[in-house]
């Protein structure tokens, strides 16, 4: 079984790595955790490509909270404090994977 990193899978599916994490959390992609690293079977990526499954380009507050393993209210606080960029569409906030990555990279290394 050939395993791919999240970045490799994102490159093949033409999306952002955080969109891959969201698809894993939602159960649309299966993945394995090996020594603390997430790996996606190559056949799983091929299945997603062949079924033309759309990997999202924006993430909801709920998905971002799952990715960062925190509460939704924490994400809303970050948005209101303008630490995390988000677009308001209807009554919801949508976060692009690039904005999420910028926020994560701005965090101090602990």
Please tell me whether residues 45 and 71 are part of one structural domain. no
Per-residue confidence (pLDDT) for residue 27, from 0 to 100: 85
Please tell me whether residues 8 and 41 are part of one structural domain. yes
Please tell me whether residues 66 and 100 are part of one structural domain. yes
pLDDT tens per residue across span 50-104: 876 666 678 899 989 988 899 999 999 999 999 999 999 888 999 998 899 899 9
- Write down the H helix ranges in the chain: 6-13, 17-26, 42-50, 61-68, 72-80, 97-106
Tokens standing for 96? 């692009």
Please tell me whether residues 27 and 65 are part of one structural domain. no
Please tell me whether residues 14 and 43 are part of one structural domain. yes
Please tell me whether residues 88 and 68 are part of one structural domain. yes
Work out the angle at residue 40's Cα, subtended by the Cα atoms of residues 103 and 29, and round it to the nearest 5 degrees: 80
Please tell me whether residues 69 and 42 are part of one structural domain. no
Percent of the chain with pLDDT over 90: 46
Per-residue confidence (pLDDT) for residue 52, from 0 to 100: 65
Tokens standing for 11? 């490159």
Structure confidence at residue 42 as a pLDDT band (50, 70, 90)? very high
The number of distinct structural domains making up the chain is 2
Taking the C-alpha atoms of residue 88 and residue 6, their distance in angstroms, rounded to an integer, is: 28
Residue 102: domain span: 59-106
Structure confidence at residue 110 as a pLDDT band (50, 70, 90)? low
- Judge if pTM exceeds 0.85: no
Please tell me whether residues 68 and 91 are part of one structural domain. yes
């Amino acid at each position: 079984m050939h395993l791919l990193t999240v970045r490799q899978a994102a490159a093949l599916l033409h999306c952002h790595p955080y969109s891959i994490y969201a698809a894993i959390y939602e159960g649309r992609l299966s993945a394995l955790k090996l020594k603390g690293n997430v790996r996606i079977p190559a056949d799983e990526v091929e299945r997603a490509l062949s079924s033309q499954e759309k990997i999202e380009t924006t993430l909801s507050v709920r998905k971002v909270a799952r990715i960062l393993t925190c509460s939704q209210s924490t994400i809303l606080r970050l948005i209101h404090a303008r630490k995390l960029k988000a677009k308001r569409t209807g009554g919801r906030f949508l976060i692009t994977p690039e904005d999420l990555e910028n926020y994560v990279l701005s965090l101090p290394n602990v």
